[in-house]
Structure 1
């Protein structure tokens, strides 16, 4: 079974109000050394052993369903059945 991890993040030029809220809360926790926080999402997809072109299918899923290409970038990591990437 192939497992794919898709990480979706706002593009660097897009404001991240959720990240700014976390950054603003850090001093209340005594953390003052953080310069920036960006919030994203991680999606894990498991394909059946019979699935073909896992990378291509993953790219279609990420591009057309998981990420908004106007404001977000995504990366795909594939774990093969034997544990090699």
Structure 2
């Protein structure tokens, strides 16, 4: 993980922590790397650079505004 990666605390049930620890050991990586790999698999980055740019722009808006923008884009297709 890079030094400039986001850091935050995460509360998880104790049994889940043990499952993550076990998976990390089995995959020969740290718990952080195991969690990141699992999240990357569940939430893959968009393949299209334009889609990635649009996602960055949409992050600036509230969820309600994002839904309206997405609806307008879909109607235009």
TM-score (structure 2 length as normaliser): 0.28
- Higher helix residue share: 2
Which of 1 and 2 has higher RCO (CA within 8 Å, sep 6+)? 1
**Quick check: which has more Rg, 1 or 2?**
2
Name whichever structure is richer in strand by fraction. Answer: 1
